[in-house]
Amino acid sequence: MNSRERVRLALAHQTPDRVPIDYWASAEVTGLLLEKFGFDTEEELLCHFDVDFRYISGPRYVGPELAVHEDGAVEDIWGVPRVKVELTGVGRKGSYREACAPPLQNLTLDEIVNYPKWPDPDWFDYACVRDQAAQARALNKVVVFMGDRMNRCAQLKPAMYLRGVGQILLDLAMNPEIAEYLFNRIAAFYLEYARRTFEAAGPGLDIFMMGDDFGTQNNLFMSVPMWRDFLRPNFKTMIELGHRYGCKVAHHSCGSIMGIIPDMVDCGLDILNPIQPGVTNMDRRELKRRFGGRLAFHGSISIQQTMPFGTPEDIRNEVRERFETLGAGGGFIFCTAHNIQVDTPLENVLALFNAYREIGKY
């Protein structure tokens, strides 16, 4: 059974030969693994780990040169400065570009409307997408379009970056016209960006993955009625767009989001990621019982505890528990709850993928 057949059965809530496998890791972890195995390319590593998915890089940015600040912060396509933050891990330092100084934080609605740095879908070259998808399809792999941390189809997170986390949450109650404008303006960009990507890919894409963190460790960022009023309409439209082009649609949201999962299902969502462990009110057996007939699950292996601090046996036990709960009867994809970070020992990464293959057989 090849990857495409395997994933097709899993997403149809049937049992393939084994649980499909996905790979999420920071660039630094991937580099360490390439060195360990003596591989020259990431494709060799993915084949070694029997990974069923391939993520295309998507449209190529060809827009205005992004501004660089005196402190080294680089603006993203929204004009949000991103400062480099270094992480220390096992054998190598890692880094991320974190948002700082939200440019719309203190502006009025009129000033936000006239903000000069709103991105334009014309700033991207979409022609490269067809070849990216064709190369993955030629390997009989499942082709996923997700984007990257700087540019992923979303509403709330870009608004947080532009307006500030605290301010956009205050806006929901105190300045609803600003919140509504921001969400609609952001969604309009991503709907057109995604549409052009799908057009360029032709029939080459299988999964469209959005990414927007709606939850904290303990609850949603906002009430369920607020989510329905402000975010659900565009969320549903994005799903409908993906379906119109023949894609299954996945959504990544960290945190405790049980309160809106019924809405996500009603909107037509096919796959929910990451089923973050260690957060409030996200019991895996309950999720499978309530939603497993209509929703596939992706992820759930802890990068906060088990991967960095557990033993290989702890990892095997966690993989087994996920197989027995989320994987029962299909509808599940093995993956970590986020990118494996440089604080994770390589022996634990190897233990994870060995456990996937050994324990995940139906």
Decide if pLDDT at 91 tops 80: no
Give per-residue pLDDT as tens, 233-248: 999 999 999 999 999 9
Decide if pLDDT at 146 tops 70: yes
pLDDT band at 84 (very low <50, low <70, confident <90, very high): confident
Question: What does the alpha-carbon distance between residue 138 and residue 140 come to, in Å, rounded to a whole number?
Answer: 5
Give per-residue pLDDT as tens, 58-71: 999 999 999 999 98
Decide if pLDDT at 95 tops 90: no
The one-letter amino acid at 55: Y
Parallel/antiparallel/unpaired status of strands 248-252 and 93-99 = unpaired
Strands of the chain, DSSP E: 53-56, 60-61, 74-75, 81-88, 93-99, 124-125, 142-145, 207-211, 248-252, 271-273, 296-301, 332-336
Question: What does the alpha-carbon distance between residue 196 and residue 199 come to, in Å, rounded to a whole number?
Answer: 5
Domains of the chain, residue spans: 3-63+108-359
Mean pLDDT of all residues in 130-137: 96
Identify which has the larger pLDDT, 95 or 105: 105
Supply the mean pLDDT for the chain. 95
Mean pLDDT of all residues in 317-342: 97
Mean pLDDT of all residues in 290-301: 97
Mean pLDDT of all residues in 135-161: 92
Decide if pLDDT at 312 tops 70: yes
Mean pLDDT of all residues in 274-297: 97
For the chain, the helix, strand and coil percentages under 3-state DSSP, each to the nearest 5: 45, 15, 40
pLDDT of residue 100: 87
pLDDT of residue 149: 65
Give per-residue pLDDT as tens, 181-209: 999 999 999 999 999 999 999 999 999 99
pLDDT of residue 89: 64
Decide if pLDDT at 295 tops 90: yes
Mean pLDDT of all residues in 204-222: 97
Residue with tokens 């604080």: 343
Give per-residue pLDDT as tens, 39-55: 999 999 999 999 999 99
Give per-residue pLDDT as tens, 249-283: 999 999 999 999 999 999 999 999 999 999 999 99
Is 3.20.20.210 the CATH classification of the domain at 3-63+108-359?
yes
Distance of CA 86 to the CA centre of its chain: 22
pLDDT band at 92 (very low <50, low <70, confident <90, very high): low
Question: What does the alpha-carbon distance between residue 262 and residue 244 come to, in Å, rounded to a whole number?
Answer: 22
Contact 298, 250 (CB under 8 A): yes
What is the percent of the chain with per-residue pLDDT over 70, rounded to a whole number?
Answer: 98
Residue with tokens 């702890």: 314
